[in-house]
Chain A
Amino acid sequence: MDFQLSEQHEMLRKAIREFAEKEIAPLVEKMEETGEFPLEIRQKMGAVGLCGLVTSPEYGGNGMGFLARAIGIEEVSRVCAGLGIALQVHHMCCWPLETWGTEEQKKKYLPRLASGETFGVCSITEPSGGSDPMGMQTEARLEGDYWIVNGRKCFATNSHVSDIMIIVAKTGTDPKGRPAFSAFIVEPDFEGFSLGREEKKMGFKGASSGELVFNDCKVPKENLLGKEGEGLKIALATVNRVGRPGMASIGVGICYASLEEASKFAKERVLGGKPIANLQAIQFMLADMFALAEAARILNYRANWMMDQGMNCDTEMTLAKYVATENAFQCARLACEIHGGYSCISEYAVQRFLRDAWVAIPSGGTSQIAKIVLGRHVTKNF
């Protein structure tokens, strides 16, 4: 057992914290107001190395790995969870590309993603639902040199700010007669592709998320990712190993942001001549927040560390995601409670943390879905 972060990881946290406070913090107010994604931040996030954390150096990344990614997303989300989710979904495009892509695909797409020239999309969810992939409606059929894709994806993070998208579509049936799916790499200027509506969200404001529309969209044959029929495997692995820990890291970031703001406020806010931090009622809430934040962080670091070791960690990732996003909501709620009436005013960040935490819970699978996975794990193993 070794709970000490390496010198490199500690330095990474410091560097990303400085980056987030210097480059991201000034953007938050406008993102909240307009809901617009600040395009110029992509290359800055690329230059500091956030975009290439799970991409190998030979494809333009730095390959620092998943624990580093957890720290990076956590620090970004501590300042702006909206950019936290943009980054985390971006990695959900990079990782399957490197894991299943052909050499040509990797060389073509990964350097652009790692540099932050563009952000990536990984989209599975459809209007009919996200957690039932077998019910997916989008279809693709091979015609000559092209796959012809028809259908509609929704809630796709980075939809309107991306030039490289991974999507999954039904491509027939497997030998047992079940639907078979394949993954594709899509570029927005492919014929038959268009962007649908961009959602107005309660939280993660300024992160783009919207619809991808495929109307006889022509995807070149060489843009099939992995083998035909591997789509579901690719999608589930990406959600489990990249999407969930990404959401967990956002949750951890919100936990600590809430804790810091609440403590700062409690020390500054004077009632009856003394800071409210001296009141036990406030100390109890701060103690609860601390416990929630630390528990979330340790679960998340363990899961990501296992990923870096090449261990099977699907259950740990799900557990981390469930605990961290729920704890984020609890922490944000307590921070709001400590702020009293001030929590209702947009000048105070805690109300944003609460909204962001709420949106983090269903992203990447609701808590109830996570509990199904965890419940099965318990009955099987204990």
Chain B
Amino acid sequence: MPQAVVCVKPIPDPKEWDRLSLDPETGVLKRAGISTVINPLDKNALEAALQLKDRFGWTVTVVSMAPPDTQKTLREALAMGADKVLMASDRALGGAATLATAYTLAALVRKAGDADMVFCGNMSLDGSTNQVVPQLAEFLGLPHASHVVGVETEDGSTFRVTVDLKDALLTLQHSGPMVLGLTKEANDPRLVSVMGIISAQSKPLEVFSAQDLDLDPEKIGQKGSPTIVSGLFMPEIKRRREILSGEPEEVVDRLIDGLREMGVL
């Protein structure tokens, strides 16, 4: 049976981001008490895979690199209809930038066996880097497409993938595995049903350590990350309240300059 592998990331619920704060002593992000959800675009990825399951009987395997306490969140993917979850959970994986994340996910995808298609959310809403899709493809040696707004197939073997380049739409055609990054325009993810919740309890969820996956310690976690976060800060979100009055000509000039300064023109 062909297999779709879906990369899923548990993230702090975007509805609760206004409660995020920085520890004033350590500068570390405080996220205690904020619930965890599946990254919303990963549900679009999962939906695309589940449609292949519904239409052509594919197996759907979810892979995730996440702390062990997010198993509950990953079970939701099973409740949506995925067949199993393979999870990489290890302290050594902490602090990973996208390169190390992609390397680890690639190992999980290989662990899942032959992937006939790899679906990801185009980005995670918390980090919004857009980077994991191309980098995962690079590690797997597969072609990729990000900003995917449509995946079509007649027979489950040749795929037409539509990419949104903002000013243009590009359609690719390919037979064989690719790594695709889906946007929310790609489909409408199904809701979890009670039947799904009940069946999720008996589906496999396997947890692997870095060693189980034969990962190179130099390439994972903080060690495998060329970039480091040298500082975190909360942006000033207060409104500027710059009040302009005078002749329309003058105030409009000032407004246009101001909008350019703020990067919205």
Contacts and interface: CB of A to CB of B under 8 A. Distances in A.
B198 interface: yes
Contacts of A49: 193-195, 197
Contact of B195 (A19, A22, A62): A62
Contact of B75 (A7, A52, A53, A64): A7
A15 B191 contact: yes
Contacts of B91: none
B72 interface: yes
B198 A62 contact: yes
Interface string B174-204: 0000000000000000011111111011000
B193 A11 contact: no
B194 A19 contact: no
Interface in A30-77: 47-50, 52-53, 62, 64, 68, 72
Contact of A64 (B72, B191, B192, B194): B194
B191 A11 contact: no
B75 A68 contact: no
Interface in B74-132: 75-76, 79
A15 B192 contact: yes
A371 interface: no
Nearest to B35: A14
B36 to A, nearest CB: 11
Nearest to A44: B191
A11 B192 contact: yes
Nearest to A62: B194
A47 B192 CA distance: 10
A50 B191 CA distance: 13
Interface string A8-26: 1011101100110011000
Contact of A47 (B193, B200, B201): B193
A8 B191 contact: no
A8 B200 CA distance: 9
A53 B72 CA distance: 22
A272 B200 CA distance: 52
A50 B194 contact: yes
Interface residues of B, number: 14
Contacts of B192: 11, 14-15, 18, 48
B194 A7 contact: no
A189 to B, nearest CB: 31
Contacts of B76: 11, 14
A72 B194 CA distance: 10
B198 A22 contact: no
Between B79, B195, B197, the greatest number of chain A beta carbons within 10 A of the residue's beta carbon is seen for B197
A22 B191 CA distance: 9
Contacts of A23: 191
Nearest to A18: B191
B193 A8 contact: no
Contacts of A8: 197-198, 201
Contacts of B79: 11, 15
B194 A53 contact: yes
B10 to A, nearest CB: 13
A257 to B, nearest CB: 16
Nearest to B13: A14
Contacts of A48: 191-194
B44 to A, nearest CB: 14
Contacts of B196: 15
B75 A11 contact: yes
A52 B197 CA distance: 14
Nearest to B191: A19
A12 B191 contact: no
Between B192, B196, B201, the greatest number of chain A beta carbons within 10 A of the residue's beta carbon is seen for B192
Nearest to B194: A49
A7 B192 CA distance: 14
A87 B193 CA distance: 16
A11 B196 CA distance: 10
Nearest to A68: B194
A72 B201 CA distance: 19
A91 to B, nearest CB: 13
Nearest to B201: A8
Contacts of B75: 7, 11
A308 to B, nearest CB: 14
Given A7-B72, A11-B76, A64 B193 contact: no
Nearest to B72: A7
A186 B224 CA distance: 69
Between A11, A19, A48, A49, the greatest number of chain B beta carbons within 10 A of the residue's beta carbon is seen for A11
B217 to A, nearest CB: 33
A50 B195 CA distance: 10
Interface in B13-41: none
A53 B200 CA distance: 17
Interface string B200-215: 1100000000000000
A18 B79 CA distance: 14
Nearest to B197: A11
Contacts of A12: 194, 197
Contacts of B191: 15, 18-19, 22-23, 48
Nearest to A11: B197
Interface in A305-351: none
14 contacts: A7-B72, A7-B75, A12-B197, A14-B192, A15-B196, A15-B197, A18-B191, A19-B191, A48-B194, A49-B194, A49-B195, A52-B194, A62-B195, A62-B198
4 nearest A-B residue pairs (beta carbon): A49-B194, A15-B192, A62-B194, A49-B193
Given A48-B194, A49-B195, 10 more contacts: A7-B72, A8-B198, A15-B79, A15-B193, A15-B196, A18-B192, A62-B194, A62-B195, A64-B197, A64-B198
